[in-house]
């Protein structure tokens, strides 16, 4: 527990590290655990509370580690269990908690469980995965699609059946309707809790259970034609099943056996439905500690969208806890994603940081975000991401946000590696290197904004009330017992003037001017106003 009796994670800032792309220490062009350990001081200097490590487990790397073949070991590509122990020790020495990714909905097809399961219909693991009989015409049992394109079913001739894979063919889905599967998964989580991790980020947390009757999904109600078939269905039966909550309670019961542990779930859903699921999965004190969705990871940069996300969560889960972020390893970096709404890259980077740090709940930032990093433009020959390779150029994939961290502008590969990295470092990204980020830089702004959040009781503990300040100005008040801050963000490139209904003073980092009760916000401007009375 922390001050005021609150758990550490409730107002934490968590920094996501993508191990492949953070620091290569063994000279093979791929980042590794010793490299992360060496660079942890950079993360600690930001003032964040924890790191989230994307998967480093044993894997054939068909989906960059999200296809796990051994839940309880480190892939040699990244190091060893001893390297992980050293990383944990250094992080804790620096005051950083360590959260690790847990990919529980599916395994690699090279996992021993699946290799046994696919061999026949009568072995000990025969029903550990989702198997279904072939229709009379040879077609799959239903219309479920894979997120990565094509049907979510693959035929296995040894069993004469199809198996379910919500993602790659090489990522078969576990059958969570089988209690033995649940027990085995809980044991793998316990392994890492015993090793000292402070919590889990749960990948695709709403995909654990499928409809046991294998009913087909209905079509989605859309006015457009999407560039992927997955978006053409309303996924009523292939994910987000009611049985999921009972398993989340088992996970929570496990983590509650340890002090100060936390779970954050990734909800694989878009729009208002994702906010509802976040609420369902965090309600009460016996489910997830918190959840996040792709709602704020979208191209939508508007007052209505941001307000709808937060107010939707408030209404849907009044006792739940949200986690908000603007970028991660699965989406285009927000500085590029919102470029049409930006005066400049640096201006939108600062505004996005100030906005995130003002949100109620737990905050996530993605490596390189603190440098104002932009999306890398890659050519087809440089791609590694399976959906991009399959559907190029209609789908650009996720490689552009996964290129290596840039440490030294003029060093080979920007200081990430001494050899050609697994993804290239382009000049546009190298120019944002850590060693270029001096006084007045985006990096220094992140440090200032994080420190301001930590020093503000309103931003850490305060409730949120929204105000109407025009269609392009996001405005809300965060109020705690001893502080009231009103936060305003001009989500437009044109200057905006806001008339206030009371007196206030500007505190903390800002891009605004206040003349008596007239607030002037330049394009991408922002401000925190401290006051006692009513401003709106």
The residues annotated as belonging to the active site are: 203, 266
Close Cβ partners of 114 (under 8 Å, ≥ 6 residues apart): 107, 108, 125, 128, 129, 172
H helix count then E strand count, the chain: 13, 21
Q: What is the distance between the alpha carbons of residues 192 and 196, in angstroms, rounded to a whole number?
A: 7
Q: What is the distance between the alpha carbons of residues 295 and 323, in angstroms, rounded to a whole number?
A: 11
Per DSSP, the residues of 161-189 read: EEEE-SS-TTSPBB-TTSHHHHHHHHHHH
The residue behind tokens 């789908």 is 395
C-alpha distances out from residue 394 to 149, 223, 304, Å: 12, 19, 29
Torsion-angle region of residue 65: left (phi > 0), alpha (psi -120 to 50) or beta? Answer: left
Q: What is the distance between the alpha carbons of residues 275 and 312, in angstroms, rounded to a whole number?
A: 6
Close Cβ partners of 439 (under 8 Å, ≥ 6 residues apart): none
Q: What is the largest CA-CA distance in the chain?
A: 79
- What are the residues facing 472 on neighbouring strands? none
Q: What is the distance between the alpha carbons of residues 353 and 424, in angstroms, rounded to a whole number?
A: 26
Close Cβ partners of 300 (under 8 Å, ≥ 6 residues apart): none
The residue behind tokens 């034609």 is 225
Kind and range of the H or E element at 17?
Answer: strand 13-17
Sign of the alpha-carbon dihedral angle for 358, 363, 366, 368: positive
Strand order from edge to edge, sheet including 153-156: 131-133, 161-164, 153-156
Q: What is the distance between the alpha carbons of residues 352 and 338, in angstroms, rounded to a whole number?
A: 10
């Amino acid at each position: 527990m922390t001050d005021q009796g609150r758990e550490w994670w409730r107002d934490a800032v968590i920094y996501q590290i993508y191990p492949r792309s953070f620091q290569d220490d063994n000279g093979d062009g791929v980042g590794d655990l010793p490299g992360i350990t060496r660079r942890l001081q950079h993360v600690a200097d930001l003032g964040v509370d924890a790191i989230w490590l994307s998967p480093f487990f044993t894997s054939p790397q068909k989906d960059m580690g999200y296809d796990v073949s051994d839940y309880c070991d480190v892939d040699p590509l990244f190091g060893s269990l001893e390297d992980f122990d050293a990383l944990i020790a250094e992080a804790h020495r620096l005051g950083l908690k360590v959260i690790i990714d847990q990919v529980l909905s599916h395994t690699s097809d090279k996992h021993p469980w699946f290799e046994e399961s696919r061999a026949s219909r009568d072995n000990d693991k025969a029903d550990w995965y989702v198997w279904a009989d072939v229709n009379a015409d040879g077609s799959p049992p239903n219309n479920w699609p894979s997120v990565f394109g094509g049907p979510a079913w693959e035929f296995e001739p040894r069993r004469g059946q199809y198996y379910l894979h919500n993602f790659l063919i090489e990522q078969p889905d576990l059958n969570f309707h089988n209690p033995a599967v649940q027990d085995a998964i809980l044991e793998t989580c316990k392994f890492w809790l015993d090793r000292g991790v402070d919590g889990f980020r749960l990948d695709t947390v709403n995909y654990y259970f499928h409809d046991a009757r294998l009913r087909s999904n209905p079509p989605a109600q859309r006015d457009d034609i999407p560039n992927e078939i997955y978006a053409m269905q309303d996924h009523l039966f292939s994910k987000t099943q009611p049985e999921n909550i009972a398993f989340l309670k088992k996970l929570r019961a496990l983590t509650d056996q340890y002090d100060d542990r936390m779970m954050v779930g990734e909800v694989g859903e878009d729009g208002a439905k994702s906010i509802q699921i976040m609420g369902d999965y965090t309600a009460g004190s016996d489910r997830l500690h918190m959840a996040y969705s792709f709602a704020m990871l979208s191209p939508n940069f508007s007052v209505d969208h941001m307000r709808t996300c937060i107010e939707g969560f408030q209404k849907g889960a009044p006792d739940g806890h949200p986690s908000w972020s603007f970028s991660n390893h699965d989406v285009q970096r927000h500085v590029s994603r919102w470029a049409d709404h930006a005066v400049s890259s640096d201006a939108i980077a600062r505004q996005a940081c100030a906005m995130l740090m003002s949100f109620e709940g737990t905050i996530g930032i993605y490596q390189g975000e603190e440098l104002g990093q932009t999306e890398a433009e890659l050519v087809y020959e440089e791609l590694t991401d399976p959906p991009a390779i399959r559907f190029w150029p209609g789908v650009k994939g996720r490689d552009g946000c996964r290129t290596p961290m840039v440490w030294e502008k003029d060093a080979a590969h920007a200081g990430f590696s001494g050899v050609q990295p697994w993804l290239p470092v382009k000049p546009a990204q190298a120019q944002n290197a850590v060693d270029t980020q001096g006084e007045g830089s985006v990096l220094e702004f992140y440090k200032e904004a994080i420190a301001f959040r930590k020093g503000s009781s309103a931003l850490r503990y305060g409730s949120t009330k929204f105000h109407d300040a025009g269609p392009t100005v996001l405005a809300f008040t965060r109020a705690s017992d001893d502080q009231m801050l009103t936060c305003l963000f001009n989500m437009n490139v044109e200057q905006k003037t806001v008339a206030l209904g009371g007196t206030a003073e500007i505190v903390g980092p800002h891009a605004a001017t206040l003349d008596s009760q007239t607030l002037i916000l330049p394009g991408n401007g922002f401000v925190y106003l401290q006051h006692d009375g009513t401003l709106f």
